[in-house]
Structure 1
Amino acid sequence: MNKWYIPDCYYPSSKNGEYVSHEAICFLNVGAEDANARMTLYFENREKLGGFSVTIPAERTIHCRMDQIRSCDGESVPTDTPYAVLVESEAELHVQYTRVDTTQAQLAIATTII
């Protein structure tokens, strides 16, 4: 089992003009078969939230927007709440996390390859 940890996630509810704050977990699957990734969210003051998953087609990339994904129970990522993500997959993947923060006039983007 391959695991990736993203400890500093935050999805703000506010926005600045037409730009919407969001986060994305970007996956690259260079393998010859489709890959499945599961995500579990951890919080400071509440129970973890699992049931998020995504399929990455063989030899493709996808950008999983955290403001658009839903768990198998229909749960969404809570806004204005710090959280961390555990990503798990049987397949070898390349994983990148990006946050676009539009809560300020200057806007901001942060990204890291895990």
Structure 2
Amino acid sequence: MGYGRKVWIFPDAELPPVGVNSIPGHESVIITNTGKRDAHVNITLIYTDREPVRNIFVTVGAERVRCLRTDEGEDFGEHTAALEVQYAIMLESDEPVIAQYGRAEPRAVAFYTTNGYCCD
């Protein structure tokens, strides 16, 4: 059995625009699977003013880490993040995982990470 939880929620997601000195912003979700079996993760994007986007599926290999950039089609398919749109990210996994959200915020020239709310 691996460490972690099966449900993670990140309530403050937003892909930032280009900021100071043309520094591009980005955001990502990092998922670590310390277990002996692959983790199959279902991602839901929850918005302020529209219906959620459900069933974005990713696999995180056993004893592996995976970084998902929200603006990359290979990670989020056709549901890549739009600039400056407030939303939340929910991860539901069939195996316990550890998840973290990170944002490079060029408007304030800062980078921060946060652990999400987790439950089973």
If the length of structure 2 is used for normalisation, what is the TM-score?
0.81
Match for residue 30 of structure 2 among 26, 29, 53? 26
**Higher share in helix:** 2
> Could you list the per-position Cα deviations for residues 5-52 of structure 1 after superposition, in whole angstroms to 9, with x for gaps in the alignment?
110111023244464211111111111111111111111111111232
Q: Does 1:111 align with 2:117?
A: no
Select between 1-10 and 11-20 the one with higher mean Cα deviation. Answer: 11-20
Match for residue 52 of structure 1 among 56, 64, 71? 56
> Could you list the per-position Cα deviations for residues 44-63 of structure 1 after superposition, in whole angstroms to 9, with x for gaps in the alignment?
11111123222111111111
If the length of structure 1 is used for normalisation, what is the TM-score?
0.85
**Higher share in strand:** 2
Match for residue 93 of structure 2 among 89, 92, 95? 89
Q: Does 1:13 align with 2:17?
A: yes
Structure 2 residue runs without a partner (length 5+) = none
List, as ranges, runs of 4+ consecutive aligned residues in structure 1 with deviation greater than 3 Å: 15-19
Structure 1 residue runs without a partner (length 5+) = none
> Could you list the per-position Cα deviations for residues 69-113 of structure 1 after superposition, in whole angstroms to 9, with x for gaps in the alignment?
333xx2322221000011100100011111111134xx1111112
Cα RMSD of the aligned pairs, angstroms, is 1.8
The answer to whether the Cα contact below 8 Å between 2:100 and 2:114 also exists between their aligned partners in 1 is: yes
